[in-house]
Amino acid sequence: MESETNLTEDESRIENRKAESGTSRSTEFLDDTIWIPKRYCIAILGFLGFANIYALRVNMSVAIVSMTSNRTLLTNGSKIIIDAEFPWDRSVQGIILGSFFYGYILTQVLGGWLAIRYGGKQLFFCGVFVTAIITLLTPLLAKMHLYLLIIGRVLEGVFEGVTYPAMHGVWSHWAPPTERSRLVTITLSGSYFGTVIALPLSGILTDTLGWSSIFYVFGTVALIWCGIWFYIVAETPSSDKSISVAEKEYIEDTIGPTIISSKVNVPWKSIMTSLPVWAIVAAHFSENWGFYTLLTELPTFMSDVFAYSMYDAGLISALPYLVMGLVVQFSGFLADWFRTSGHLSTMQVRKLFTCTAFICQTIFLLAAANATKPISVIATLTVAVGFGGLAWSGFSVNSLDIAPQYASILMGISNTVATIPGIISPSLTSYVIQDKTSEEWHIVFHISAAIYIIGTIIYAFLASGKVQNWAIIGQEQCLLSTDDMSQTSTEDLLPIGTRYQATQK
């Protein structure tokens, strides 16, 4: 209903302007034929982009099991055991899986800064494109030398590291405040659907065509996506040649002026000393600890504890992320509804969604640790991961609430700290899991549960929903709400047309 209202307002505005300026019927027809808003085209392409990114990221967690496992062949009724192609022990496997994050952590803040100076569209394209090329080279690197494989994974992390800040840079120009939660979560949910597709498909490709095929297939698909993204997406509504006049004016009226400039001064000190920023950082770290632990280790867990085959392990491991992807999208629409209907303030929505997610994840992770049947473990882990989807309508959108112009940098900072679990978790898990017993895996789950509780407490006390004073640029200060409990924070901006009329009186 809200989108319909927005579109109705858009149509009324453009009709009035056409009547005043004598716009031709051909232009009117062109506007009427646009059946999906351009900002939602960007959301869909962003969704597919993150699906590709996570397919490129998680394929190694499945491939490495096949690369390091013995194979059994039946020949003339007799079994022949073929040694593993790569004799890597668990510690080496942990280094390979974790090496991606050594590169990933380096470019988060840089990516946010580049998005402000040069725009998020091209930066997002560059991150996916280079990662796809390295993915295509991964089988060759692995066969040449272990160190080359590790370097390749580090470089993948370097270029994927700019993607999250880059997308926040895109949305700082394209997302109207009343649609912010849904647009961001539609985009980010692609990561979970990418995981859902990549895990079982990787298992199928491994069993049928060999582990190398995983990298060739996913790398090729990502390159195709890059071409589509580069052709369709523009940096800002004003530079988009295919956007309708009504949508362009609606976005610019609700967001206000935005800047892509090499001369933007970033208030680094204010950002680094802001408690609401550190609330986002703490929540992001907590969510990623549990997410990365299960993302990289779930196939191994299913194989160790339940002796599942590669195909079954990949299929079961994908289930929690399917649930999470659905929850992420639903929560985005629900969060926007709470805010625009006046039931809850921006601050209350962000805290409610984030803290509820963390508490539920804690409960179900502890339940999984104490479950004794495979079906119970799978069910509780699925629910635990699924509830994480609520959090992404909380802390992940919060940077656009408190600092719209610097949202890409805030995402870079929080994702830098939130990448630490990706580095520590695989190595810590490898250290804890020595005998591959369920008791050892219970310890891993308890650690994640404790971190969720800490994140809940910090975010509940420090998070904010208002634009921070240091984030207000120039004359916008007098136009922004400073009420921490306001429903819309940046939505309190007067439309540009209204501001212009006010200055003429």
- Asked if residue 50 and residue 91 are part of one domain, the reply reads yes
Percent residues over pLDDT 70 in the chain: 76
Classify residue 166: in a domain, yes or no. yes
Which residues on neighbouring strands pair with residue 293, listed in sequence order? none
- Asked if residue 386 and residue 318 are part of one domain, the reply reads yes
**3 state SS of 177:** helix
Classify residue 399: in a domain, yes or no. yes
Listed residues 257, 284, 310: the one ending a domain: 257
d(CA 281, CA 289): 12
- Asked if residue 235 and residue 378 are part of one domain, the reply reads no
Classify residue 176: in a domain, yes or no. yes
- Asked if residue 274 and residue 244 are part of one domain, the reply reads no
What's the average model confidence in pLDDT over 248-255? 85
pLDDT at position 492 is 39
- Asked if residue 375 and residue 226 are part of one domain, the reply reads no
Contact 99, 153 (CB under 8 A): yes
- Asked if residue 460 and residue 373 are part of one domain, the reply reads yes
pLDDT at position 31 is 40
Listed residues 235, 257, 279: the one ending a domain: 257
Could you identify the residue written with the tokens 């490898």?
Answer: 430
Q: Where are the alpha helices (DSSP H) in 260-345?
A: 268-272, 275-306, 310-340
Listed residues 230, 257, 284: the one ending a domain: 257
Is pLDDT at 378 greater than 70 in this prediction?
yes
Classify residue 318: in a domain, yes or no. yes
Structural domains of the chain, count: 2
CATH code of the domain covering residue 152: 1.20.1250.20
Kindly tell me the burial class for residue 22, based on how many C-beta atoms sit within 10 Å of its own C-beta (0-12, 13-18, 19 or more): exposed
d(CA 173, CA 200): 36
Three-point CA angle 291, 339, 471, nearest 5°: 75
- Asked if residue 306 and residue 195 are part of one domain, the reply reads no
- Asked if residue 393 and residue 250 are part of one domain, the reply reads no
Is pLDDT at 16 greater than 70 in this prediction?
no
Q: Would you give the DSSP letter of residue 492?
A: G
Is pLDDT at 367 greater than 50 in this prediction?
yes
81: region left, alpha or beta (phi > 0 left; psi from -120 to 50 alpha): beta
Classify residue 187: in a domain, yes or no. yes
Contact 185, 332 (CB under 8 A): yes
Backbone angles phi, psi at 241, to 5 degrees: -85, -15
Classify residue 17: in a domain, yes or no. no
- Asked if residue 120 and residue 182 are part of one domain, the reply reads yes
- List, for residues 432-472, the tens digit of each pLDDT value: 877 767 677 778 888 888 999 999 999 999 999 998 999 87
- List, for residues 259-292, the tens digit of each pLDDT value: 665 567 889 999 999 999 999 999 999 998 887 7
- List, for residues 292-348, the tens digit of each pLDDT value: 777 666 656 666 666 655 556 656 666 777 888 889 989 999 999 998 888 889 899
Contact 184, 90 (CB under 8 A): no
- Asked if residue 274 and residue 249 are part of one domain, the reply reads no
Instruction: Give a three-class secondary structure readout of 374-404.
Output: HHHHHHHHHHHHHHHHHHCCCHHHHHHHHCH
Classify residue 486: in a domain, yes or no. no
- List, for residues 27-42, the tens digit of each pLDDT value: 333 344 347 889 999 9
Give the C-alpha distances (Å, rounded to integers) separating 387 from 188, 329, 355, 363, 390: 15, 12, 11, 11, 6
Stated as kind and residue range, the H or E segment containing 149 is helix 146-160
* Per-residue confidence band for 137, with pLDDT thresholds at 50, 70 and 90: very high
d(CA 414, CA 462): 15
Stated as kind and residue range, the H or E segment containing 9 is helix 2-21
Classify residue 475: in a domain, yes or no. no
- Asked if residue 251 and residue 139 are part of one domain, the reply reads yes
pLDDT at position 433 is 75
pLDDT at position 203 is 81
- List, for residues 177-211, the tens digit of each pLDDT value: 888 889 999 999 998 888 888 877 888 888 888 88
From the CA atom positions of the chain, what is the Rg in Å? 24
- Asked if residue 300 and residue 216 are part of one domain, the reply reads no
Determine the structural domain holding residue 227 and report its residue range: 37-257
- List, for residues 464-487, the tens digit of each pLDDT value: 999 899 987 643 443 444 444 444
